[in-house]
Amino acid sequence: MAAKPKLYYFDGRGRMESVRWLLAAAGVEYEEVLFKTAEEFENLIKGGNLMYQQVPMVEMDGMYMVQTRAILKYIAAKYDLYGKDLKERALIDMYVEGMRDLNDMIMFFPFSLPEEKQKNFNYILERATQRFFPVYEKGLKEHGKNYLVGNQLSWADVQLLEVILMTEELKSGILSAFPKLQEFKARVSKFPRIQKFLQPGSPRKPLTDDASLEAAKKAFKIAKNSFLKPMS
């Protein structure tokens, strides 16, 4: 029996969360090595397997894989979540790249300057409802299928559900103007593997709060008073 993939990261969502989502959708069990201190992270670097000295890192199929997109593409291709041909893969990539932009805005939102937090919050919601969600609403409508691309679940569908739920954590009801996305969310959330991942006690990480934010700053040696500039 092949060894389970091993995920190396801090104990939080960050960039590893999309990897967790995709492995869950593929029905792949995995283990996690979660470091809590800068010393533990430095020991991981000293191990010599961490290219670029950055995480996330996934140990899988005899490889130590880094760079989030490279990891996700490998998993998607390995488990038939990456389309049936080059055209479908290109479309999946285009959808996913947009979703990653929105995902990153939400992921870094907790690092906002206190006086800029409301401005950044409004910016994220404006981008979600004016730039990103209309694309996926149109895509589902024009494709006329249950999925964004092709006739089966793909990486794009998994990523879309993740980013929808992340945005709803910021503002409930944000899908009110997007009936196709509402249907999509309800439908894909019922897939057995995804439904299991959404249940309490699953490996899915909780919403980033002040405690997990400070834990991330401690693990990566980020100054406690470090914040991001306005997103806009």
- In this predicted structure, what is the pLDDT of residue 223? 61
In a domain, 228, yes or no: no
Same domain, 106 and 65: no
Same domain, 161 and 108: yes
- In this predicted structure, what is the pLDDT of residue 229? 55
- In this predicted structure, what is the pLDDT of residue 228? 53
Same domain, 130 and 181: yes
Beta bridge pairs of residue 35: 10
Closest of 61, 81, 51 to residue 155, by C-alpha? 81
Closest of 201, 212, 163 to residue 184, by C-alpha? 163
Distance between CA atoms of 128 and 102, rounded to whole angstroms? 7
Contacts of 31 by beta carbon, 8 Å cutoff, 6+ apart: 4, 5, 6, 7
The CATH number of whichever domain residue 53 belongs to comes to 3.40.30.10
Distance between CA atoms of 182 and 119, rounded to whole angstroms? 27
Q: Which amino acid is at 32?
A: E
Same domain, 140 and 166: yes
Same domain, 91 and 170: yes
Same domain, 72 and 92: no
- In this predicted structure, what is the pLDDT of residue 188? 97
Same domain, 208 and 183: no
CA 76 to chain centre: 13
Q: Long-range contacts made by residues 111-115, C-beta under 8 angstroms, separation at least 24?
A: 111/213, 111/226, 111/227, 111/228, 112/227, 112/228, 112/230, 112/231, 113/227, 113/228, 113/229, 113/230, 114/227
Same domain, 23 and 72: yes
The CATH number of whichever domain residue 172 belongs to comes to 1.20.1050.10
- In this predicted structure, what is the pLDDT of residue 38? 87
Range of the domain at 134: 86-189
Per-residue pLDDT of the chain (232 residues; tens, 9 = 90+): 578 999 999 988 999 999 999 999 999 999 999 998 889 899 989 999 989 999 999 999 999 999 999 999 999 999 999 999 999 999 999 999 999 999 999 999 988 888 999 999 999 999 999 999 999 999 999 999 999 999 999 999 999 999 999 999 999 999 999 999 999 999 999 999 999 999 999 999 988 877 777 777 777 777 655 555 555 5
Token duo for residue 213:
């934010």
